[in-house]
Amino acid sequence: RLDPHERARARARSRRRAKAGPGEPRCPRAARSRRGRVVSSSPRAPRAPPGWTLEDAMGEEDEAGDAPDTVERVPEVTSKPGGMFRDLLEGSFPELYEEPKPQPEGGEGEEGEDGGDGDGAPAEPPEGDPPAEGEEDAEPEVDEYQQRIDAIRTQTATQVEQMDELERYLEERTAAADELERARMEERDSLYTMDHRNARMPRLPHDLDLDKDRVEGVGLLDPRTLMEDNERKLSASAAPPSTMAFLDETREPKYMEPTENERVRAREREKRSIPEYPRRLVFSAEEWERKKRDAEDRLRELGRRMTPGQRDLEERVIAGMRRKQAYLRNPRHPEVPSSLDGTERKRVGAAIDPTDVFVVEPDIVEFHQFELGETYEMRLTIRNKSALSRRLRILPPPSRHFSITELKYPSDHGLLAPGNAAYATVRFKPDSLADYEDFVTVITETSKFRVECSARRHPPCLTLDQSLDVGYVLVGNDVETRMPFKNVGGEGRFRLVDEADWPEHTTPLTLPNEDAMLSRGERKDPEPVPCIGVAPFRIGPGYMELSPLDVEQLRIGFAPPGPGSFTQQFRMVCDNSQVQTFTVTGRGTVLDVGLTEIDDRATIPGELTQGPVYFSKVVPGSVNTRTFTVKNATMVPVPFVWEHPREAGIFAVDPPLGVFEPDSVNAFTVTFSPRDLTAYEADVRLVVDTSVPARVPHPEHPFAKPVLIEDFSVSGVGAERHCTIDTNLVNYAGSLLPGRHYDREVTVVNHSDAAAPFRWVGHDPDAGLLVYPHEGVLDPNGGSVTCVVELTPPRVQRFDAQMSCVVEHGPTLPLRVTAEVEGPEVAIAQSQVDFGLLQRHVAGDTYLLIRNQSAIAATWALEERRPAVDGAPAPAEIVFSVAEGELPPYAEVEVECTLVPSAPGPYRSNIACVAGGGRVSVVAARADVLQPLCALSTAEVDLGTCYVNVPVEREIVVQNMTMLPAVFRWSPEPESESEECADSMDFDVDWREDEIPPGGSKAVRFIFTPLRPCARYEALVAMDVDGAAKPLGFALTADVRGLSVEYEVLRGLNGEPVAGDASHVADSSVLDDHVRVDFGDACEVREHATMEVLIKNTTAIETSVRIDVERHGVSDAVGMRVMECWAAARGADAAGLSKGGVARRGAKSV
């Protein structure tokens, strides 16, 4: 298969042969003349030289086999629309242009402008024209654009077919539903006649049955589902609020949960939230502060300006002021003298300015956005603003890119009355994306003028400098530099061409070097970006399509063949015929890094290889330092790392790793710090990395291209320390108290010339002996540290301990500590602990005051000691909030004592406080224990005669008989009911449970509700009292009766009874008994007879009554016979055959 460039070249050759015709040589052709001109949107944009064709743009090589030897190849001038740039753009962007049809030979077809016949159709190619070279073997080109169109048409056809099928389905289901509704309506017409349609009864739901999944799958609504959802929502909105969830006390409260409004606002905030911009990864702190100051200044400057709304308002006011002063003069009135309006009178016979007669809208016909192959239109309006009717005509634009339609007048006579306007449509059809200018000539009765026509596509504008510098690159490296730029103009397509190939050839696109090194922060492209080769540079992408505000990166690969500077140029060709020239500069450098100085002394060649660098004797813990100087003569940053045995920690290089700046001198500090009294030696290596980007080495990212620069060794020896202590005995005079702190100072001196670490051993924190600081470092040459020996004896004892100060790589200094310790005293400040009056099994509280009477902190412990009863120890019932603790010197604390007595009567006990030194303080504890007792105002409640579901209210008083608060609780339902009276009674109480103060009372209201009849109801309502010996209660008795109903039948209003059942008792409110209301046989026609049914409720139960009529008096056969006779009599009366219409008395009746 041929690549796109070969296919483009083959198409170009076939077009040239088709235009030249068989047997004619390829000779230059005259360019087609055009009266319009093409103007570039950028005056500085260079133009392609004349004669540059598509073959030159695509880099075609003239091969010997392309044309006969007798035909001479000369540059040709294109005659296609767009000229030579059409060939260039057609070769660079072949997918935007259609394949031209072959032109006929000269002769009859020369009459047309395009070389075709008279009607503009292209002439057929001659039959004898041989096929172009390479076309027989070339495979047919696949038109991707046509493929996309076919795919869209296929998809559209499929969707249309699906919609047609859905439409047929809906029509079928609608017809079936309508047929069903029509059948039902006919059935109702036969039952109720046609008049039922005018009764305005609610219409029944439509029987449209649709497949819910099939309808909703295409985004339609199912009417039945929609009505069901609406009915469900209306039912839910009309339903009473649910309170069951609020009565459940076991559920957790939800008043802290977010409301629906809060959840909606949270979702909106998440949508509108903007992620934090990682500015610290892009800018430094100084750059960020500078940008912030610039932004603040810009905001202040913008704040001084007028807002768009205010500016629009002001402009409207100004326009209104001007509009009031711009009234047109009435042509019927004489012209105002010049002395009044300041204008000069027109001279007689002077030429009339067309602008004084006509107004053209728009004054310039401009087309801004356009594409190839499309036709654009704009309406041109010419209005007569003079006082006379005018005639005018329009000449079309000279160029073939612009055309205009016939002028349309508001009337048929062709005159343009004052104030009227004529219309025409200007059409524009571009053949390239360049800029166009033309004009339309308007000829009037007295003059003519032009209306400018232009087409300027918003040109692309790239924020890319024309001078590109990639800097220095090491010889042997291949580095790709990426320069971001942005298109701040219009849409455009670009192609890169080497300066050496311009304008004869188009530089072919090549794939980039995937092994090229990238700058810091750059990543390899997912797919290779084609580029052009401009040795020693690679520049890409070679082809770009950029929309407005698109951001792209210019990739410049540079592989210097040697040191020095390299400069190349390339052209960037845009699809609007603009060409820009860019200059690329790069410099090659070689690696030059070495160790030049040691302690400001220049190194001798070969010095580091003759022996190790010696650091002399050093005391362990001290540091000996030497300075190494490394020079980087390379013009690029070079990462480095010093390799030495870091695990030993003896020799160290600072900094151990980093990056050498270009052409820099770097100083390194090498330190020797021995750990022991021995000799040390280590190897040191300096390694650099020549890869790009220059980054600090990391264990996870080692050097990609390491290079060894220096390799040498260092050595040194360690020396010992000498330290002393000012005393070897610390004696604390006098008597010490337990828990109190006592301090003494001890000084340790370092007489060596290096720092000496030391630590104390033998101090015992459990015994109260501490030393601080317990370790440290002594400064060299007489440096000293004062240590504090702190003694805190925990108990009464004779204290004697031995400690030592251990100096690293030095002597061990002993220290003895001695002291005498005595105990503290703690006492209870109260003489007695009285709990007062308590309830059995109910806790009582009081406080106990404990005081430390010594000058040191003292520990204490409380315990209860009860006297024995009948020789057996009594259990302790007093509980302390804090049973033990510690008091500061002369401090006191209150301890809460809680007593839960287990038996009524007097309670006697003792409380003892034991101090840490062994001393004991004892006080007496007492309490009087009582048991709760309550009484009810009555022991029996008789409800008498009551009725089902009729509440009965009673009140009972509860009396507290003791001086303690009493808590009572009523049983939830009556107890001890008989089987025949079970679940016959329910009650509610206003105080189900409550607390009665000492000696007080509480009135409790009961509401009893009978549930079913019961001849003799007996039950018990119980009440529990917390802490009482037994529960209380009262007996409940009642006679529960049900509903009782009586009825009577009276003849006439308030007449005498003719039927009745005075002893009947009904169980429900519906009279299901057959009540016979007999009007008798003496009822006269058209006379009203009245009877009353009297219903009496003999109970206190409210009830409802419903009377149903079960029969209508006569059978269906008799009714039909009566209707037939009535119809026959009515027909006879209408015909005059009935002889009066009322039957005589005694006549036979049906």
Q: Are 398 and 438 in contact (CB under 8 A)?
A: yes
Higher pLDDT, 46 or 472: 472
Quote the CA–CA distance of 749 and 780 in Å, as a whole number.
9
Mean pLDDT for 583-588 is: 93
Higher pLDDT, 699 or 452: 452
DSSP SS3 for 398: coil
Distances (CA, A) of 296 to 36, 277, 450: 51, 18, 51
326 has pLDDT over 60 = no
> What pLDDT score was predicted for residue 2?
45
> What pLDDT score was predicted for residue 125?
43
Residues 6+ apart with CB under 8 A from 333: none
786 has pLDDT over 90 = yes
CB hemisphere CA count around 578 (13 angstroms): 22
Mean pLDDT for 903-926 is: 87
For residue 201, report the phi and psi dihedrals to the nearest 5 degrees.
-75, 150
Most confident of 124-128, 563-567, 838-842, 1116-1120: 563-567
Distances (CA, A) of 175 to 164, 168, 181, 206, 387: 16, 10, 10, 12, 67
SS3 of 1043-1075: the string is CCEEEEEEECCCCCEEEECCCCCCCCCCCCCCC
> What pLDDT score was predicted for residue 758?
92
Residue 892's pLDDT band (cuts 50, 70, 90): very high
Quote the CA–CA distance of 712 and 888 in Å, as a whole number.
68
298 has pLDDT over 70 = yes
Quote the CA–CA distance of 173 and 180 in Å, as a whole number.
11
Quote the CA–CA distance of 544 and 542 in Å, as a whole number.
7
Mean pLDDT for 781-802 is: 88
Tokens found for residue 126: 């001659």
CB neighbour class for 915 (10 Å; exposed up to 12, middle 13-18, buried from 19): buried
> What pLDDT score was predicted for residue 784?
92
Residue 581's pLDDT band (cuts 50, 70, 90): very high
Mean pLDDT for 406-419 is: 84
Residue 806's pLDDT band (cuts 50, 70, 90): very high
Residue 896's pLDDT band (cuts 50, 70, 90): very high
Residues 6+ apart with CB under 8 A from 181: 206, 207
Residues 6+ apart with CB under 8 A from 1039: 943, 944, 945, 946, 1014, 1015, 1016, 1017
Please state, rounded to an integer, the average pLDDT across all residues of the chain.
78
187 has pLDDT over 80 = yes
Amino acid at residue number 934: C
Look up residue 20 and give its DSSP letter: H
Residue 87's pLDDT band (cuts 50, 70, 90): low
Helix H or strand E segment including 594: strand 593-598
Residue 141's pLDDT band (cuts 50, 70, 90): low
Give the tens place of pLDDT for each residue, 618-653: 888 788 888 999 999 988 899 999 888 776 678 888
> What pLDDT score was predicted for residue 875?
86
Give the tens place of pLDDT for each residue, 814-828: 999 998 887 778 888
Higher pLDDT, 102 or 379: 379
Higher pLDDT, 148 or 13: 148
Alpha helices in 697-790 (DSSP H): none
1028 has pLDDT over 60 = yes
Tokens found for residue 734: 């006098």
> What pLDDT score was predicted for residue 1068?
41
> What pLDDT score was predicted for residue 1140?
43
876 has pLDDT over 90 = no
Tokens found for residue 208: 């449209």
Residues 6+ apart with CB under 8 A from 393: 407, 442, 443
Higher pLDDT, 507 or 274: 507
Higher pLDDT, 517 or 531: 531
Look up residue 693 and give its DSSP letter: S
Give the tens place of pLDDT for each residue, 706-741: 888 888 888 888 888 888 999 889 888 877 877 788
> What pLDDT score was predicted for residue 89?
62
CA angle 861, 866, 868 (to 5 degrees): 140
Helices then strands, counting H and E runs in the chain, come out as 14, 59
> What pLDDT score was predicted for residue 333?
52
Alpha helices in 560-615 (DSSP H): 607-610
Residue 86's pLDDT band (cuts 50, 70, 90): low
The pTM of the full predicted model, rounded to 2 decimals, is 0.37
Quote the distance between the C-alpha of residue 153 and its chain's center.
Answer: 38
42 has pLDDT over 80 = no
> What pLDDT score was predicted for residue 117?
40
Most confident of 16-20, 550-554, 672-676: 550-554
Quote the CA–CA distance of 1125 and 1143 in Å, as a whole number.
13
SS3 of 411-477: the string is CCCCCECCCCEEEEEEEECCCCCCCEEEEEEEEECCCEEEEEEEECCCCCCECCCCEEEEEEEECCC
- The answer to whether the peptide bond before residue 904 is cis (omega within 30 degrees of 0) is no
> What pLDDT score was predicted for residue 456?
83
Give the tens place of pLDDT for each residue, 223-275: 778 888 888 888 888 777 766 666 667 767 677 778 888 888 888 887 776 55
Radius of gyration of the chain (CA): 58
Q: Shortest CA distance to 959 belongs to which of 968, 950, 951?
A: 968
Mean pLDDT for 389-405 is: 88
- The lowest-confidence range among 227-231, 274-278, 971-975, 1103-1107 is 274-278
Residue 1086's pLDDT band (cuts 50, 70, 90): low
Quote the CA–CA distance of 436 and 457 in Å, as a whole number.
9
35 has pLDDT over 60 = no
